[in-house]
Structure 1
Amino acid sequence: MNTVSRRRISSPRELARIGDRFSFLYLERCTIHREDNALTATDADGIMHIPSATIGTLLLGPGTRVTHQAMSVLGECGAGVVWVGEQGVRFYAGGRALTRSSRLVEAQATAWANRRTRLAVARAMYRLRFPEDDPSTRTRQELLNMEGRRVKECYRRESTRTGVPWRRREYHPGNFAAGDPPNQAITASAQCMYGIAHAVVTALGCSPGLGFVHSGHERSFVLDIADLYKTDVGIPAAFDAAAGGPEDIASRTRRALRDRINTTGLLDRCVEDIKALLLGPQNDREAIEMTDQVSLQSDNGVLVEGGRNYDNSESSNHLAEEPIW
Structure 2
Amino acid sequence: MKRLPGQAPASLPELIRAQDRISFLYVERCSLSREDNAITVTDARGTAHVPATAIASLLIGPGTSVTHQTMVLMADSGTVAVWVGERGVRYYAHGRSMASQTSLLDAQARLVSNRNERLDVARKMYGLRFPGEDVSRMTMQQLRGREGVRVQRLYRYHAERSGVSWGKRSYDRESWDNADPINQALSAANSCLYGATQAVIVSLGCSPGLGFVHTGHEKSLVYDIADLYKAETSIPVAFDLVAAGPDPDSLPALVRKAMRESMVEAKLMKRCITDIKFLLGVDVADDGPDVLYLWDDQEQTVAAGVVYLDPSTDYATEFKEGEKPWSS
Common fold: TM-score over 0.5:
yes
Aligned to 1:300: 298
SS of 1:48 mapped into structure 2: strand
SS in 2 for 1:72: helix
Indicate the residue corresponding to 1:271 in structure 2. Answer: 273
How far, CA to CA, are the matches of 2:6 and 2:302 in structure 1?
31
**CA distance in structure 2 between the partners assigned to 1:33 and 1:169 by the alignment:** 39
Q: Which residue of the partner structure matches residue 212 of structure 2?
A: 212
Is the contact between residue 97 and residue 203 of structure 1 (CA under 8 Å) also seen in structure 2?
yes
Matching of residue 226 in structure 1 with residue 226 in structure 2: yes
CA distance in 2, matches of 1:78, 1:160: 42
Provide closer, same or farther for how the CA distance between residues 4 and 294 of structure 1 changes in structure 2, counting only shifts above 3 A: closer
Q: Which residue of 1 aligns with 2:254?
A: 252
- Deviation larger for 196-205 or 172-181: 172-181
* Contact 1:24/1:55, CA 8 A, preserved across alignment: yes
1:204 and 1:115 map into 2 onto residues whose CA distance is 24
Partner of 1:134: 134
SS at match of 2:34: strand
> Per-residue deviation at 1:308?
3.0
Q: 1:107: which partner in 2?
A: 107
The structural deviation recorded for 1:144 is: 0.6
Deviation at 1:6, TM superposition (A): 4.3
Q: Residue 26 of structure 1 contacts residue 58 of structure 1 at CA under 8 Å; is this kept in 2? A: yes
- 3-state SS of paired residue (1:39): strand
Q: How does 1:279-318 map to 2 (within 5 A)?
A: 279=281, 285-287=283-285, 290-311=288-309, 315=315
Q: TM-score, normalised by structure 2?
A: 0.89
- For the 8 Å contact 1:12–1:291, the answer to whether it is kept is no
Which TM-score applies when normalising by structure 1? 0.90
Q: Which amino acid aligns with 2:277?
A: K
1:210 deviates by 0.9
Superposed counterparts of 1:157-168, under 5 Å: 157-168=157-168
The gaps in structure 1 that reach 5 residues or longer are 317-325
Question: What is the rounded CA distance, in whole Å, between the counterparts of 1:172 and 1:6 in structure 2?
Answer: 44
* Range with greater deviation from structure 2 (172-181 or 121-130): 172-181
**Is the alpha carbon distance of 1:305 and 1:9 closer, same or farther for their aligned partners in structure 2, counting shifts above 3 Å?**
farther
Task: Render the CA deviation track for 1:240-284: whole Å, top value 9, x for unaligned.
Answer: 2212224111111111111100001011111100000002xxx5x
Aligned to 1:320: none
Deviations 1:53-111 (A, max 9, x none): 10111111111111111111111111111111112122233242111211101000000
1:240 and 1:256 in contact (8 A); partners too: no
Cα distance, 1:288 vs structure 2: 5.2
- Cross-structure match for 1:261: 263
Q: Does 1:38 align with 2:38?
A: yes
Residue of structure 2 equivalent to 1:179: 179
Query: In proportion to residue count, which structure has more helix?
Result: 1
Q: Is the 8 A contact 2:13 2:287 kept in 1?
A: no
In structure 1, how many angstroms separate the alpha carbons of the residues matched to 2:110 and 2:297? 19
Deviations 1:128-156 (A, max 9, x none): 01111111121111111111111111112
Whole-Å separation in 2 of the counterparts to 1:94 and 1:53: 15
Equivalent residue, structure 2, for 1:322: none
Q: What residue number does 2:198 align with? A: 198
- 8 Å Cα contact 1:23/1:267 also seen in 2: yes
- Structure 2: 5+ residue stretches without partners: 317-328
Looking at structure 1, the residues matched to 300 and 269 of structure 2 have their Cα atoms a distance apart, in angstroms, of: 35
The structure-2 alpha-carbon separation of the partners of 1:5 and 1:153, relative to structure 1 and needing over 3 Å to count, comes to farther
Q: How far has the Cα of 1:215 moved from its partner? A: 1.1
Alpha carbon RMSD of aligned pairs, Å?
1.9
% identical equivalent positions: 46
Q: 1:5 to 1:49 in 2, by over 3 A?
A: farther
CA distance in structure 2 between the aligned counterparts of 1:179 and 1:160, rounded to whole angstroms: 20
Counterpart of 1:89 in 2: which secondary structure? coil
The one-letter code of the counterpart of 1:251 is: A
Conserved in 1, the CA contact under 8 Å of 2:39 and 2:52? yes
Deviation of 1:234 after TM superposition, in Å, equals 1.2
Separation of aligned partners in 1, 2:168 and 2:300? 56
Counterpart position of 1:125:
125
Work out the CA distance in 2 between the residues paired with 1:259 and 1:289: 27
How many residues are paired up?
310
Corresponding letter in the other structure for 2:301: L
Aligned to 1:62: 62
- Judged with a 3 Å threshold, the aligned counterparts in structure 2 of structure 1 residues 187 and 299 are, in CA distance, closer, same or farther, namely closer
1:94 aligns to what SS in structure 2?
coil
Aligned counterpart, 1:15: 15
Q: Which amino acid aligns with 1:49?
A: H
